[in-house]
Structure 1
């Protein structure tokens, strides 16, 4: 993969998992903050280079899910879906993996370019918690790296995994949650319609689930995106509100 532009990485995770510590460890002083457009949510972006490749990393707001319950969740969701980062790193707290996995599974419904990063392994060790990352990797279908961001443990392995994923040496097959037979049947019916309306622009299965969920916030966000692109002079074949009538 030949990147003229910097490779774009999104950093996702629950609040207080050490996500910002990892962001600071990777970017050092090469970072700046502001607000997301139209939101009071902090936008933090930084740069780093590894093996001759330049990266831009965006520290998404800490959230417990990617539904539409708050401005933070909407910002994180919209970035992963609309900006389509080259890679999304989901940071988990090693001492409460089960609770944190909810967000990781949601991200894996939206993109297959995912690395799961288990932080605070030093804290887990103190509590007698051992994590078998190889078993977790096999189950989740994406790379799983154990780190301690503040002690810089595992950072080189993370950087090497990022490099191998971006260069196409690692392929992923993210675990997909299976819902009730009734929901799965509806999703299966919706997917061809979603693909006809959106092409490959959005993750079809994820979008079908959002439509079934009646996620009006997402529909509004997508409509605004289309309006902005038209305003910027970008051509777009479809208008979300009109075409969704077909679904």
Structure 2
């Protein structure tokens, strides 16, 4: 049996993220607490073209720094658990406010789909959104949805499948910062890359460390130590 394809859902509160999750998974879901945390995560499965897609509804957050437990849980899942695809759910009527989180996620991971939800509400307000232009600008698929009306679901699932099987290659746009910050990134990124390898985006980690995110550094150190212990135990088992 092949492992299910893991799809994380991220987004600001009140963007319809959980409505999308519920509409996709229906009764095929359950809720459990994140290991060692009081934050709960809902998980559920979707069958599509003979494959199982396992959706994880992350806590709604406005950013993915270390300002709260919700933010850390959402960030750590995307960064360390490395889902096959991350869906960023935005409110079509408040795109400017929502894009802060989307741009953060594009710095963290490659396989991203930007889901512009509540498109029906936007149309009522006369808001027009050019998803093709956004796709070209962001370097990842952008899909317009109405979760409560189940509009756009087939295109979403098809796009997920095409990313997973390699038919679509995501090339997320990267934010360019001031000359001073970019120079600091160049200085420390080689050391970060040596430490984390291809597990994490060395540029993103460099940015977070420049911002003084010590809790992320502690998390990385703990994860690396656990990996070393696991490798040592596997080696011992192999030679015994």
Shorter-chain-normalised TM-score: which range?
over 0.9
Choose from 174, 177, 180 the match for 1:176. Answer: 174
Distance 2:198 2:158 in 1: 29
Counterpart in the other structure of 1:137: 135
What is the CA deviation profile of residues 218-244 of structure 1, one whole-angstrom value per residue up to 9, with x for unaligned ones? 12222333454456x3449xxxxxxxx
Aligned residues: 233
Residue segments in structure 2 that go unaligned for 5+ positions in a row: 234-240
Counterpart in the other structure of 2:9: 11
Counterpart in the other structure of 1:189: 187
Counterpart in the other structure of 1:242: none
Counterpart in the other structure of 2:115: 117
What root-mean-square deviation, in Å, do the aligned CA atoms of Structure 1 and Structure 2 show? 1.5
Query: Are 1:98 and 2:116 matched, yes or no?
Result: no
Choose from 43, 46, 52 the match for 1:45. Answer: 43
TM-score, structure 2 normalization? 0.93
Counterpart in the other structure of 1:222: 220
What is the CA deviation profile of residues 80-130 of structure 1, one whole-angstrom value per residue up to 9, with x for unaligned ones? 110011110000000000110100100000011000000000111111111
TM-score, structure 1 normalization? 0.91
Choose from 166, 170, 174 the match for 2:164. Answer: 166
Distance 1:20 1:13 in 2: 9
Choose from 196, 205, 208 the match for 2:206. Answer: 208
